[in-house]
Amino acid sequence: MFTVSRFSRLILTLAGVATFALGQARAEQKLPNILWITSEDNGAHLGCYGDTYATSPNIDRLAKRSLRYTNASSTAPVCAPARTTIISGIYPPATGAEHMRSMTRMPKGFKMYPAYLRELGYYCTNNSKEDYNLRKEGEVWHASSRDAHWSNRPEGKPFFAVFNHTISHESQIRNRIAPENQIHDPAKVRIPAYHPDTPEVRKDWAQYYDRITMMDKLVGRTLNEVSDAGLADDTIVFYYGDHGSGMPRNKRWPYFSGLNVPLIVHVPENYKHLAPAGYEAGGVSDQLVGFIDFAPTVLSIAGMKPPAHMQGHAFMGKHAAPAQKYSFGFRGRMDERYDMVRTVFDRRYVYIRNYMPHKIYGQFISYMFKTPTTRIWHEMYHAGKLNESQSKFWQTKPAEELYDLKNDRDEVNNLAKSKEHRDALRRLRQAHVKWVKDV
């Protein structure tokens, strides 16, 4: 018999289910805070990426509770065009903004992604480097300065905040730390195959790692501000570098070492429905993710379908797209020296197309030659003191290059003429041609 008591229990049960469902729906409707922490001129030279020489405890702790990407890439191996890609969601060659510190306009009717976030109700701040090759038109950030901070937002508003830590910049490699404050022993650093192994080169690499440790402390401070405010459970976090290390042949050159960046994404439990596929604490993803994907991804997290003009693909959020087969990069004018290079990466092979092969790799760039390694490397070449791998940087380029990262992490063995790698070369060449035509 169906009694009143059983009916009451049924009503209570259904009410509980409805309340839970409503709470879950509200959680899914509530916009998450989004925090981006950027470091400058550093590749994945971090403990969480298996670099035992590195000292990066704060980023390592973040990685243990987040998803770490091993194949994340900048589109350009230098800051301004890389940041231009992120702010626009468009490849810089498509907007005429590929050259370092060039300045052009966004196509008519297009907006920089923070403008879309503002329309969705976000309080958007940038602290503080911009360095876009595109003119800012209309309202982009609520605040963009050294004082810009999410804590200044109106009560109840979700925030999107970017903090750019520049202490690891190329210029700080030559700005020597006092001996008593040095952290990394130059005698123990790994020297890549393309650099000469000299005491001064070792000092530069050790100094680079010291600056990463300093940057790591700032990352920890930025994360602590969010947790101390009780907002960690409502904040999605990205940590990433803006391109490869500031050492010569990393920065400014579109090898994997110049384009590969660390990327760590943390999604709190409240927003797991927005997490990337396969997300788990301490997880690792080899999915190809690029800066071209950042703008559509942040809009997807906020629930907005990315505008059709954005050329990347969201890798998480409501409008996440399937994983891509290739990642693309480029090199244009670097400061006072012109070049034209395009690259394709497929998780194993790096294909490089040099459109100006008559120009040497190491064209004179005044700013780059301030780094001791560059000067010593150049002097040793002209003194005939380098081996073949070390000498190539000061010579003209082949039209095509192909490197197998599985067997050649330093990208010194060009396989473009290898019979065994014809299929890989042909496939990546075709992907390159299609991308150039599409863009």
The predicted structure's pLDDT at residue 137:
87
124 given a catalytic annotation: no
Say which residues have a Cβ less than 8 Å from residue 8's Cβ, sequence separation at least 6: none
The predicted structure's pLDDT at residue 12:
40
The predicted structure's pLDDT at residue 122:
99
What are the CA-CA distances from residue 363 to residues 255, 259, 341 (Å)? 16, 19, 14
Taking the chain, what is the end-to-end CA distance rounded to the nearest angstrom?
Answer: 71
The predicted structure's pLDDT at residue 333:
97
Report CA Rg, the chain. Answer: 24
The predicted structure's pLDDT at residue 402:
99
Catalytic one of 44, 79, 162, 415: 79
- Strand order across the 143-144 sheet: 143-144, 123-127, 159-165, 33-39, 235-241, 263-266, 67-69, 283-285
Instruction: Using 70 as the pLDDT threshold, list the residues of the chain that sit under it.
Output: 1-28
Is residue 341 packed enough to be buried (19+ CB in 10 Å), middle (13-18) or exposed (0-12)? Answer: buried
In contact, 205 and 185? CB cutoff 8 Å:
no
The predicted structure's pLDDT at residue 6:
42
The predicted structure's pLDDT at residue 4:
35
0.75 exceeded by the pTM?
Answer: yes
- Residue-wise pLDDT for 164-192, tens only, equals 999 999 999 999 999 999 999 999 999 99
- Residue-wise pLDDT for 275-288, tens only, equals 999 999 999 999 99
CA distance 41 to 259: 10
DSSP 8-state symbol, 370:
G
Question: What six digits make up the tokens of 265?
Answer: 């994404």
CA distance 425 to 10: 66
Question: What is the maximum alpha-carbon separation in the chain?
Answer: 101
The predicted structure's pLDDT at residue 14:
38
Could you tell me the fold of the domain covering 31-324? Alkaline Phosphatase, subunit A (3.40.720)
